[in-house]
Structure 1
Amino acid sequence: MGDIDLSEPTGTFQALIRNHGRSRWNWRHKRKAKEVVGLAPSPNGAASHEPFTAPERFRDGFRTGWNGPIRDWPRYGRVDELPEECQELRANYYAVVALCDFLIGQLLDYFDTQDLWRDTALVVTTDHGFLLGEHDFWAKNRMNMYEEIVHIPLFVHDPRRPGSAGTRRSALTQTIDLAPTFLDLDASFRARSPER
């Protein structure tokens, strides 16, 4: 995957441009979900998912000296790789996280330059964590629900509540809460809902 050029809006950025200013995005029109929620062009979406591949400039800070075969997709299960292989897998994961950090930074910059903060909600979260050898496991689905798997980030910008900026909450949230939260962010949908 080559370096990503976001000088011309694509993916989410293009969706933001097309839909900015509408009181409610018209969800009845058939749209691919990735057009609305995708973050950037990449083979695996801009996510820290396998394969752990990132442009070279994001790998530079994580070189291990590994000269063996590519290590970008850990086996789900117990760690049985050599320590050097584990180090290379982690380095490739960290490079993808650095790419995600860069892309989220680009998105935040785009919110700044387009003045989207005043009327556009932004939610950043994930569906699960990932073990990188902690508890002697790789990945997410063949072990107990360790803290690294279930403690996930959730950042919400709600333009209706500017006084809440920068606050932290200690309340428990679950991914099942996300859909009602998204619907609540769209007051026009809520006002027309037959259940209310």
Structure 2
Amino acid sequence: MSFVSYIFQDWSANQDTSFKSRLSLFLFRTAQALQGLPTIFRVIALPARFIYQILVEWILGIEIPWDTQIGPGLQLQHGHGLVINHQTVIGKDCIVRNSTTIGNKKLADGTYSACPKIGDRVDIGAHVVIIGAVLIGDNAIIGAGSIVIKDVPSNAIVVGNPARVIRIQEPVEEAKHA
């Protein structure tokens, strides 16, 4: 994948969202791509990461650290108030809405858990909290306001606090989402 196609990989997925979403993801992918440069050129990555942090995290209110593993086609719907821990893994073609927190939690012994691993084509509603070492299966739908603290199977629709499965949908073929 070329540098240009890498940094624009989320552009079309966000054509119906906002310029803010497109700009945030463009800067996110740029900061990631610059970090991949040979060591001698990484001097360029430092100011880019700083600019990314100032613009995206502080001004736009979208906290996605540049080293977070996110597949192509991430869609941010009203991304304000979004917090994603840098150890979170998000698959391809996912949707994340405003005021959502995805990350680890402090355990009883004072250590921190691992972060969520989110599959492909997962739709995460507004005001959702997903914390701990949970696995979210492909094609899952997390309803608005849900608190996810346990694994979610593929094709499940979950809602509530704590989130519970209300329905399992028919499996969706990946080709339909391509």
Say yes or no: TM over 0.5.
Answer: no
Structure having the higher helix fraction is 1
TM-score when normalising by structure 1: 0.30
Structure having the higher strand fraction is 2
TM-score when normalising by structure 2: 0.32
Structure with more relative contact order (C-alpha pairs < 8 Å, separation 6 or more): 1
